[in-house]
Protein backbone atom coordinates (compact mmCIF):
# COMPACT_ATOMS: atom_id res chain seq x y z
CA UNK A 1 0.00 0.00 0.00
CA UNK A 2 1.28 3.43 -0.89
CA UNK A 3 1.47 5.96 1.92
CA UNK A 4 0.86 9.16 -0.02
CA UNK A 5 -0.57 11.23 2.84
CA UNK A 6 -0.15 11.23 6.59
CA UNK A 7 -2.85 10.50 9.15
CA UNK A 8 -3.66 14.16 9.80
CA UNK A 9 -4.18 14.85 6.09
CA UNK A 10 -6.33 11.72 5.82
CA UNK A 11 -8.44 12.88 8.76
CA UNK A 12 -9.15 16.26 7.17
CA UNK A 13 -9.91 14.85 3.70
CA UNK A 14 -12.00 11.92 4.94
CA UNK A 15 -14.13 14.03 7.27
CA UNK A 16 -14.85 16.59 4.56
CA UNK A 17 -15.83 13.89 2.06
CA UNK A 18 -17.77 11.80 4.56
CA UNK A 19 -19.82 14.67 5.96
CA UNK A 20 -20.72 15.96 2.49
CA UNK A 21 -21.41 12.63 0.78
CA UNK A 22 -25.04 12.45 -0.37
CA UNK A 23 -24.70 8.87 -1.65
CA UNK A 24 -27.25 6.44 -0.16
CA UNK A 25 -24.76 3.60 0.34
CA UNK A 26 -25.96 0.02 0.72
CA UNK A 27 -25.99 -1.03 4.39
CA UNK A 28 -22.83 -3.17 4.17
CA UNK A 29 -20.85 -0.28 2.63
CA UNK A 30 -22.30 2.26 5.05
CA UNK A 31 -21.32 0.06 7.99
CA UNK A 32 -17.69 -0.05 6.80
CA UNK A 33 -17.58 3.71 6.20
CA UNK A 34 -19.22 4.39 9.55
CA UNK A 35 -16.62 2.23 11.29
CA UNK A 36 -13.83 4.16 9.56
CA UNK A 37 -15.53 7.41 10.56
CA UNK A 38 -15.41 6.21 14.18
CA UNK A 39 -11.68 5.56 13.90
CA UNK A 40 -11.09 8.97 12.30
CA UNK A 41 -13.14 10.57 15.06
CA UNK A 42 -10.97 8.85 17.70
CA UNK A 43 -7.72 9.88 15.98
CA UNK A 44 -5.58 12.38 17.86
CA UNK A 45 -2.34 13.68 16.36
CA UNK A 46 -1.02 15.04 19.68
CA UNK A 47 0.65 12.15 21.56
CA UNK A 48 0.20 13.76 24.99
CA UNK A 49 -3.48 14.48 24.48
CA UNK A 50 -3.94 11.06 22.87
CA UNK A 51 -2.54 9.43 26.00
CA UNK A 52 -4.94 11.43 28.18
CA UNK A 53 -8.05 10.68 26.16
CA UNK A 54 -7.14 7.23 24.88
CA UNK A 55 -7.39 8.22 21.22
CA UNK A 56 -5.96 6.48 18.21
CA UNK A 57 -2.51 7.27 16.85
CA UNK A 58 -1.15 7.45 13.32
CA UNK A 59 -0.58 3.71 12.95
CA UNK A 60 -3.96 2.89 14.47
CA UNK A 61 -5.72 5.11 11.97
CA UNK A 62 -3.70 3.69 9.10
CA UNK A 63 -4.63 0.16 10.19
CA UNK A 64 -8.32 1.14 10.34
CA UNK A 65 -8.12 2.61 6.83
CA UNK A 66 -6.38 -0.49 5.47
CA UNK A 67 -9.00 -2.69 7.10
CA UNK A 68 -11.84 -0.57 5.69
CA UNK A 69 -10.34 -0.77 2.22
CA UNK A 70 -10.01 -4.55 2.46
CA UNK A 71 -13.62 -4.82 3.65
CA UNK A 72 -14.86 -2.58 0.83
CA UNK A 73 -12.92 -4.71 -1.67
CA UNK A 74 -14.55 -7.83 -0.17
CA UNK A 75 -18.03 -6.29 -0.55
CA UNK A 76 -17.31 -5.28 -4.16
CA UNK A 77 -15.97 -8.75 -5.00
CA UNK A 78 -19.04 -10.38 -3.43
CA UNK A 79 -21.41 -8.15 -5.39
Domain count along the chain: 1
In a domain, 15, yes or no: no
Phi, psi of 62 (to 5 degrees): -60, -45
C-alpha distances in angstroms, 29 versus 2, 25, 54?
23, 6, 27
**pLDDT per residue as tens digits for the range 58-73:** 999 999 999 999 999 9
- 6 domain-assigned: no
The answer to whether residue 25 sits within a structural domain is no
**Per-residue pLDDT tens over the stretch 33-63:** 999 999 999 999 999 999 999 999 999 999 9
What's the domain range around 46? 32-79
Look up the pTM and report it. Answer: 0.88
Please indicate, yes or no, if residue 2 is contained in any of the structural domains.
Answer: no
Amino acid sequence: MQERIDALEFEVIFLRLYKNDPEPWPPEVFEILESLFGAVDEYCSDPHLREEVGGLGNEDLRAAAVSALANLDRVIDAG
